[in-house]
Structure 1
Amino acid sequence: MRLVIAHCQVDYVGRLTAHLPPAQRLLLIKADGSVSIHSDDRAYKPLNWMSPPCWLIEDPDVWVVQNKAGEKLIITLHEVLHDSKHELGPEPGLVKDGVEADLQKLLAQHVTTLGDGWTLVRREFPTAIGPVDLMCRDSDGKSVAVEIKRRGEIDGVEQLTRYLELLNRDPLLAPVRGVFAAQQIKPQARTLAEDRGIRCVVLDYDALRGIEPDEFRLF
């Protein structure tokens, strides 16, 4: 990545025109070829940019960034205050804590959080329309399909409803009840779920992580 801080003027010429009058700005030139112009506000959003594939033509006082469509960013440099290059190396990607996969794994390990005497049949239980997050049996040995979300919304309830309709056609599983489990459940989703006989459970991710094998809580 190349970082340039310069007093500059920027003009975009393409499907329309745009003009940034002279001011001090940060120019980012990335290894993928993209060029973006930033001010000291607007959070992460650039003032203007050119996405790859594009190429940069440098003259001492004027830079021209052009893409295949003929669009151009014309950067007129009045004074360069800083110019440096840095090798960032491979990007491993963002690793989120508390995503649905983490919740599914934790709940599978501590399935009795959903009820005393519950047992796990399988994670990612296969169906013709996609896998059910958890297939369980309650204390009476009856099948329960569990759909897990970070934020419980109507779409998640609809998804679980489709699974239940399909699973209840299987005489080896039926009757199958549903549990909609999430860290947050919107009121509209809760209303729809309860109207369809689906139980809603709010999960405490931190509490799940801290549960010992012989200590469970019902949420």
Structure 2
Amino acid sequence: MRIVVATCQVDYAGRLTAHLPMATRVLMIKSDGSVLVHSDGGSYKPLNWMSPPCTLREGVTTDPADESREMVEWTVSAAKSDDTLRILIEEILHDSSHDLGIDPGLQKDGVEKHLQELLAEHPATLADGLSLVRREFPTAIGPVDLMCRDEDGLSVAVEIKRRGEIDGVEQLTRYLELLNRDPALTRKGAVRGIFAAQEIKPQARVLATDRGIACATVDYDALRGMDDAEARLF
């Protein structure tokens, strides 16, 4: 991972446009190719980013405010769209690279881990005809919770959360981008995704739908066999 602290301006162009005026920010370039722009606030979420696969080109351009001065310019281009992230750097305050090694992955809490176990035993509750291929299917950026196969023989990657938020959709998107490069998984067609959670936030559902990812709300008690049909009003 490369970490750069710099005074910079950031412009995003693609399905929408966004502008971050000149300020000091943290730029993160991960080994999977993703580029993230962070401020000193806003919790864990980046101000802007480009997900892999993408290409980062570093060059020099003229300062728009002073044509006699040059500035460092980063251009991040998406591989599968016309989206671009343009970063103009006025001053670099820190620039370092670190090899983080292989991440062991997120250790799931009790409920989330149990959800994965239950859905592995009953994958058809997520979609008719779905069958389990493997739990914790490995990828270069971490394991997919469940790798399944639908009734047409197509591969389906399932990401499971207790609470479904935008970060989970982004995580599944990155997995799908990698999985769809594997000819062994895409012989019959593209790998599709299912985002499963006990509760899915509206923003996460909108983003998932936009990316062609199905959403499944999971009833934990029903899966555990605790859902008493006689106690229901309807």
CA drift of 1:98 comes to 5.7
C-alpha change, 1:176 and 1:211, in structure 2 (3 Å) is farther
Residues 123-182 of structure 1: per-residue CA shift (max 9 Å, x gap): 000001000000000011100000000000000000000000000000111210000000
CA drift of 1:114 comes to 1.7
Let me know the Cα RMSD of the aligned residues: 1.9
Q: Identity over the aligned pairs, expressed in percent?
A: 79
Letter aligned with residue 134 of structure 1: L
* 8 A Cα contact 1:144 1:177, kept in partner: yes
1:197 maps to which residue?
A: 212
C-alpha change, 1:97 and 1:126, in structure 2 (3 Å) is closer
Letter aligned with residue 120 of structure 1: L
2:225 maps to which residue?
A: 210
* Map 1:1-219 → 2, pairs under 5 A: 99-174=111-186, 175-210=190-225
Letter aligned with residue 210 of structure 1: G
Letter aligned with residue 194 of structure 1: T
Which protein is bigger by CA-based radius of gyration?
A: 1
Q: CA–CA distance in 1 between the matches of 2:143 and 2:202?
A: 26
C-alpha change, 1:209 and 1:130, in structure 2 (3 Å) is same
Letter aligned with residue 206 of structure 1: D
Helix, strand or coil at the partner of 1:124: strand
Q: CA–CA distance in 2 between the matches of 1:119 and 1:131?
A: 18
Moved over 6 A (4+): none
C-alpha change, 1:208 and 1:97, in structure 2 (3 Å) is farther
Helix, strand or coil at the partner of 2:134: strand
Q: CA–CA distance in 2 between the matches of 1:120 and 1:187?
A: 28
C-alpha change, 1:199 and 1:169, in structure 2 (3 Å) is same
Helix, strand or coil at the partner of 1:210: coil
CA drift of 1:115 comes to 2.3
Helix, strand or coil at the partner of 2:157: strand
Q: CA–CA distance in 1 between the matches of 2:212 and 2:155?
A: 14
Q: CA–CA distance in 1 between the matches of 2:109 and 2:177?
A: 32
CA drift of 1:107 comes to 0.3
Residues 74-115 of structure 1: per-residue CA shift (max 9 Å, x gap): xxxxxxxxxxxxxxxxxxxxxx98621000000000011122
Counting matched residue pairs gives 117
1:7 maps to which residue?
A: none
